Structure formats: structure tokens, C-alpha cells
Structure 1
Amino acid sequence: MEQKITQKEVEIMFITVLTGIFVTHGFREVIKRSGWALLTVEKALPKFLIGMVLTCITIGLIRIALADMLHLVSHKTTEFMPRLLTITADTGLMIIPWTLIYYFYHYIQISSKQQLDTFKLEALVKELELKTIKAHINPHFIFNALNSIRALIDENPVRARTAITELSNILRSSMQAEKLETVTFEKELNIVKDYLALEHIRFEDRLQVEYDIDEDTLDQPIPPMMLQTLVENAIKHGISRQVDGGTVRITSDFKDDYHELVILNTGVLNGSRNSDGFGLASTKNRLQLLFGQKANFDIREAGDNTVEARVLIPVDMSK
């Protein structure tokens, strides 16, 4: 014999559905605003557990209040707490699976998006690095170096031959840089010395160079051509714009758990320091991609017509 659904049962079902939709919508807003879906499973589950319990209790309280107010419950003798526990347990059978599916769906979706964004960022950084490396040897520098060498051929043939060797070393290093992630600081410093020797032919007494190098730092890894580019920027945007020239000072030392490289040059900062594709952001990204988030690069005015570029690279203490 078929059992007909009474009007009260329909009304109770209607209240149950509406209450569930209303309260779970509020719970979803709490999850979104609190960023629980971004948390790891270990951190998220306790929060979701408390949230689910409170949600089920809230639904139970609202259902009991509406049912009593509309006189939909015939069991008047049933005590409040047993009714609340029963409704809360029944509601939990629906809320718990819904919440877990909601969390893991968004967690996987967000994790996939973050992983894709990371891959895109790393690809972009590598592309920027490659373009930067290829543009490291400024064509103007090559032309200036060749003109300086040509002027020396008759005046000082020995120095001219040495200058050709220095230019050859720089070009060879630039070509090899694409194949290497890091080089020793000693190798990079030798290239910089060749570069500065060539620039000294052009600037003569207007360019003074000072070194303060801790020999223990010579075997430390650094990105290829990075130091050369920073020194080139110091010459281009600093020394060349000073009527009386100035000084480039290169310091390499250990500071705490870092290899600290400092390039000081006479001059002032200006927007052109970001030219040649080697700005502050790309340099910092390159360092952090190779050495982690602790690596850093900064450039600032150090006062007294001096610009300071500072590179910090974490030292591998396990070696």
C-alpha cells in the first residue's frame, strides 16, 4: 500500500532545502574570504572540521526554530537536545561530503594554476636572461674598443696587441655565457679586469679603478656576465657623464652567510640604469632563480655623488 507524503513533510523538506542552501552559502563565503582553500591539507582540515560542525548545528537550530514556529512537528514530547543532535548528524551526512569535494576541487584547481604560473614565470625569466646575456656586450663598447686599439697600433703596438687579447677574452666569455648557469667569481673578475683595461684606454686618467677582494670569495659561483654588466652600467651611466671622470670600486667579501658583491661608482642614479634589458627586477629574478629567495640585488645612491650596486648571494655552508 502506497504511503502518501503529507503536506507537513513537504513543508519540512522545503525548510530543510532552503536552510541548507542559505547556511552553506554563508559557509562558502567564509571559506572564500578566509582563504581556506589556499591552505595545505594539514592546516585546512581543522578549520573545515570546526566550520562543518558549526554549519550543521546552525542548520539544526534554524530547522527546529522554523518547525516549532510553523507547528510542523508532532513529537512535542521530544526534548530539544536529542532533536538537535539528530538533525545535526543527518545534516552532517550531506555537508561533510559537499565540503570535502568543494575544498579538494578548489585546492587542486588553485595548485594547478599556481604551478602553471610558476612555469610561465620561470620560462619568462629564462627568456629575459637569454636576451640579456646576448645583449651584454654593448655594440658601442666594441666600436669604442676597436677605435682605441686602432689608435694604439702606431703609438703603442705592444699595448694594442694586449688590448686585442682582452677584447677577445670578453667576446669569448659572452659567447660561452649562454651555456653556463654560473661561473666562479675569479673567472668573472678576470673578464671585468679586461673590460676595465680596455675602457681605461678610452678614458685614461678620467677612470680610476679600485679592488677590495677577499681571496676566499674567488671560488664562489655567480651568474655569468652579471658583474661585467653592472660594471659596464657604472661606466656608461656614471663615469662617462662626469666631466672629471671618477672611480669604480669593486668589493667582494663574506657577510654573515652571504657572498657580498658591491660596485661603487662616481655618479648619480637615473632612469637609464634599466637600459640594455638589465634592470633591477630582471637581475633580482635571475639571482633568485639560481640561488633562491634569499639572494638579492639592489642599487641606490650612497651619497657624495656615489652609486652603490649590491649583490647578495647565499653561501652554501654544506661545502
Structure 2
Amino acid sequence: MKSLRLSRYWVFQFGGWGLFALINVFFTWLFQRFEPNSLQRILFFIEVGIVFSHFMREVIHRSSLLLKDLRQQILTLILLTIVFSFFITCVVSPFEQLYELRTNAEGQPVSYLSLFITNFISFIPLLLMWNAIYFMYHFIIKTHKLEVDTVKLEALVRELELNTIKAHINPHFIFNSLNGIRALIDENPERARTAITQLSSILRSSLSTEKAETVSLEQELKIVKDYLALESMRFEDRLKIAFDVDERTLNNPVPPMMLQTLVENAIKHGVSKQMKGGIIKIVSDIKQNQHELVVQNTGHLNGYQKSSGFGIASTKDRLNLLYGEKASFEIKQLDNGLVEAKVLMPLR
């Protein structure tokens, strides 16, 4: 990579000074002042420019000027322009004077002082332009690199945050399921054994999607149905389940374990609080070109939507990290004694 940058620098270096030489040749010829020594003077001018501008670049690199404050960079570049313009003039002027490469209208050599002042004034805008181009090139490269690094950092942070949330989802789910199974051990050991088998199946399915940011709704529904079958053993006739799933949404991507977490939340804070139990209804539909995912449950909010419950907090965080403002989540109380948790996500 270093050699690639070096070669690119020399291409620009020779190309820029070469273009400057061609422009000088053109205008010298255009005004019919092209003398035998004109080409020699221009070539020497360009050679000295290449050498001294390269030395100026070395000074910029060794002083780490491009890493300093912007105001300090600008002031230092102006100072370097003046200093190196003076150095170049001290080299070019005696050479032109010695070989009489520059003459006045009468064909007589110009005075050394006049030659020195003219060269010095000529080199300042030239080197200033060289520094400006060099500065702008590195400024654009640095800005682009900073943008790329920022995007990479944001992606890394998002991945870490998602992994942190995922790391909490399975343990949270396992503890709630084990508590349910524990209630069955004394009441119905056979059902408890069946529940443990179903829990193993759920964990196997969830682990297969652990590393994915999204899974198909169909995969997520399989885990939810296994979980609801597990909970049905505990609640028996107290738990009623209903699905209203549009088949067009089965292949839509959803965050893994998100729907299961909402269903688990609905049972824990809704159905389980009701003496007669209640209903869990899952709806998946397409509304206004968005994927609408709804979980309804019997119960009352009682201010739970304002709490820091894991199910709600993890759902909001994951939607925000994956979709930003393109997704939304709300939980509200319906008039018919149902609590509704609604997720809106962009279609793939």
C-alpha cells in the first residue's frame, strides 16, 4: 500500500509540473518570444520545482503537519511556501544570470535584483497552489477514511449491542420456562418430562438462529408454537391460542426470538395474572407496505408499558439497531380487555 501511494504521488508530481511546462511553452510560443534558451530555462525551472517541492513534502511529513490543527496547518503551509520560494529563487536566479537565460526587450540581460524579485514573486503563487492541491488531496483522503472508520465503528457497536441483547434473551427465556416446568413436576411428572423435551427442542431451534440478525417469520413461528405448546401444559384450558398469519409474510425477516419474547411477555404479565386465564392471539399482516406483527393477550397494562421490562426493552432496542426509524413498536390497552403489542417493520 505504501509503494502504491508513492507511485501515485510521483505520477501527480511529474504530471503537474509537466503540465506547467507545456503551458509555459505554449504561451512563450503564442507571444512569439520563443528564443533558443527559452526551453532550457523552462526545463531547469521545472527540474528545480520538482526537487524543492519534494523536499517541502518531506518537511510536511516529518513534522506531521497534516495531523495538527487546521489553523496551524494553513499558517505553516503559507510559511513553507514563502521559505521554499526563497530557496528556489536563490538557486534559479544565479543560474539564469550566469547563462543569460532571461533578457529584456532590448535583448540585454536583466539585473540580478530584478531577476531575483521576479522569480521570488513568481514562485510564491506556484508553490502555494502546489501546497493547496497537496493539502486538499490529503484532506479528502483523511475525511473519506474517517467516514469509513465511523461506519465500521457504528457497525461494530451495533453488532456488539445486538449480541449483548441476544445473550440475555435465551437465559431469560430458559429461566421462565424452567419455572413453568417446576410447577408441573409435583402436579404431573409425565407432563413435566414432555415439557423438558419440548424445551430442548426450542433451545435447539433458537441456538441455530443465534448468530443471525434476522430469520424468516416461519422459523420464528416454529419456536413460538413450541413455546406455546410448552405453556399449554402448565395452563391447560386456561390458555387459548389463535393465529392469524398472512402467508405472504412467512418469508419476511424478523429479529430472532423477538416474537417469542413478546409472547412470553404476554403470558407472564397478562394471561398468568387472570384467574380464568385468557387468550394469546398472534397476527401477521402487510399494512401500508409494512410488515405488521401483533401479539394480543388478555389482561391490563397497569403502567407496565412504562417499566423497564426486559421483553419491551429488548424489542425496542433490537428494532432500533436493525431498522432505525423505519420500524416502530407500541403496546396499548384495547377496550375489550386485551393488551396489544404491535411491531411495524419494513418489508424486505
TM-score, normalising length from structure 2? 0.52
CA contact (8 A) 2:282 2:294 kept: yes
The residue that corresponds to 1:278 in the other structure is 314
Deviation at residue 164 of structure 1 after TM alignment: 3.1
Within the alignment, does 1:127 sit opposite 2:127 as a pair? no
Deviations 1:164-188 (A, max 9, x none): 3321211112222224343332221
Which of 162, 175, 178 in structure 2 is aligned with 1:143? 178
Q: CA deviation at 1:194?
A: 1.4
SS of the residue 2:308 aligns to: helix
Residue matched to 2:344: 311
Query: Judging changes above 3 Å, is the alpha-carbon distance between structure 1 residues 129 and 237 closer, same or farther for their aligned structure 2 residues?
Result: farther
Structure 1 stretch 266-275 or stretch 101-110: which is displaced more? 101-110
Give the counterpart letter for 1:163 in structure 2.
A
Aligned equivalents of 1:296 and 1:309: distance in 2? 11
SS at match of 1:267: coil
Q: CA deviation at 1:232?
A: 1.8
Supply the distance in 2 between the matched residues of 1:275 and 1:160 (Cα, whole angstroms): 25
| Offset, 1:217 | 2.3
- Whether the 8 Å CA contact 2:214–2:253 is kept in 1: the answer is yes
TM-score, with length taken from structure 1: 0.56
**CA displacement, residues 238-295 of structure 1 (integer Å, 9 cap, x when unaligned):** 444556554332111223433322223343213223469715133321x33xxxx675
Distance 1:243 1:93, change over 3 A: farther
Residues 231 and 263 of structure 1 are in contact (CA less than 8 Å); yes or no, is this contact kept in structure 2? yes
**Kindly tell me: are residues 106 and 186 of structure 1, through their superposed partners in 2, closer, same or farther at Cα, counting changes over 3 Å?**
same
Match of 1:200 among 232, 255, 260: 232
For 2:200, the aligned partner's letter is S
Give the letter for the 1:307 counterpart.
E
| 1:212 corresponding residue in structure 2 | 244
**1:140-177 deviations in whole A, cap 9, x for unaligned?**
313223214424545xx3x4454233212111122222
User: Structure 1 residues 213 and 168 mapped into 2: Cα distance closer, same or farther (>3 Å)?
Assistant: same
CA contact (8 A) 2:181 2:192 kept: no
> Are 1:188 and 1:224, in contact at CA under 8 Å, matched by a contact in 2?
yes
> RMSD over aligned Cα, in angstroms?
3.6
* Structure 1 residue 93: Cα displacement: 7.2
Question: Aligned to 1:136, what secondary structure does the other structure show?
Answer: helix
In the TM superposition, residue 198 of structure 1 has moved relative to its aligned partner by 1.9
In 1, Cα distance between equivalents of 2:135 and 2:247: 58
Secondary structure, in 3 states, of the residue corresponding to 1:272?
coil
Identity in percent: 36
Preserved contact between residue 294 and residue 313 of structure 1 (Cα < 8 Å) = no
Deviations 1:8-52 (A, max 9, x none): xxxxxxxxxxxxxxxxxxxx99xxxxxxxxxxxxxxxxxxxxxxx
Higher relative contact order (CA 8 A, sep 6+): 1
* Structure 2 unmatched ranges of 5 or more: 1-69, 72-123
Q: How far apart in 1 are the matches of 2:125 and 2:266?
A: 67
**Equivalent residue runs for 1:248-263 within 5 Å:** 248-263=280-295
Structure 2: distance between partners of 1:244 and 1:109: 66
The answer for unaligned runs of 5 or more in structure 1 is 1-27, 30-90
